[in-house]
């Protein structure tokens, strides 16, 4: 997998008791390896009971609840699966609103296994391409979704996979999707743009200063002997500094 820098990216993992353990821990580990800051959001504080299919797994610490977490504070959303966890979450209107907040503004969502239940109950599936655990295929289709039997499906700001056997492909696709929205990538583009703007304004200011040297009022150039070197440098420098400062703020 190519290295994608997710530094500064804040990811919310929405999970509840009964979450499929590996579908939370494996993607979280991969995201953290790439520099993302990952928090587990649930219905109650403390910890949640993860599962390995029908066998209890480990307890996973909850960072915030859907009642205290602000979706605006996160850049991406991960919805792991499990037989019980997604079903508990889909019964919470607060959890559904949390999911809707991400999709409403086009933030990336990675979803696997039974996780699409949340997208179905949130009313977001109609017309979207996705996959899921085969057992909820009919739920996706009945909600108007276009179900695909593939290891991973990308549709705009969503990437989805069927289950634990697809995790390697899912993790790769999730990182690629989230990297498109990472602050590191967006910040780099912003700095470059700001530099171009500042440089362009500086050149424009320099040109203005030179025109002033030659008589910017259109009355023709002054004789060579009437050009005063020191004031001209002062004008050009002041104009350049002003425009560069403005460009930096852009």
Q: Tell me the catalytic residues.
A: 114
- State the DSSP string of 75-128: SEEEE---SSHHHHHTT-HHHHHHHHHHHHTT--EEEETTTHHHHHHTT--TT-
Residue 117 tokens, joined: 């239940």
Residue 174, φ and ψ in degrees, nearest 5: -65, -45
Strand partners, 37: 10
Q: For residues 200 and 243, what is the distance between their CA atoms, to the nearest angstrom?
A: 9
β-bridge mates for residue 64, sequence order: 41
d(CA 126, CA 109): 16
């Amino acid at each position: 997998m190519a290295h994608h820098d997710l530094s500064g990216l804040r990811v919310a993992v929405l999970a509840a008791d009964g979450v499929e353990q590996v579908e939370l821990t494996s993607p979280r580990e991969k995201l953290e390896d790439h520099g993302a800051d990952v928090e587990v959001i649930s219905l109650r504080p403390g910890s949640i009971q993860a599962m390995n299919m029908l066998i209890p797994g480990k307890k996973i610490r909850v960072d915030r609840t859907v009642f205290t977490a602000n979706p605006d504070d996160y850049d991406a959303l991960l919805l792991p699966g499990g037989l019980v966890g997604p079903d508990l979450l889909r019964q919470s209107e607060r959890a559904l609103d949390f999911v809707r907040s991400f999709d409403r503004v086009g933030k990336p969502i990675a979803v696997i296994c039974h996780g699409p239940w949340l997208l179905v109950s949130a009313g977001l599936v109609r017309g979207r391409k996705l996959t899921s655990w085969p057992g909820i295929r009919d739920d996706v289709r009945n909600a108007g979704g276009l179900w695909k039997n593939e290891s991973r499906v990308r549709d705009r700001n969503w990437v989805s996979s069927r289950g634990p056997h697809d995790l390697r492909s899912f993790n790769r696709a999730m990182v690629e999707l989230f990297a498109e929205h990472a602050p590191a990538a967006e910040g780099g583009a912003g700095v470059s743009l700001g530099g171009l703007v500042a440089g362009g304004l500086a050149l424009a200011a320099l040109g203005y200063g030179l025109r002033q040297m030659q008589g910017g009022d259109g009355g023709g150039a002054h004789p060579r002997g009437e050009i005063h070197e020191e004031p001209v440098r002062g004008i050009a420098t002041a104009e350049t500094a002003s425009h560069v400062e403005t460009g930096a703020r852009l």
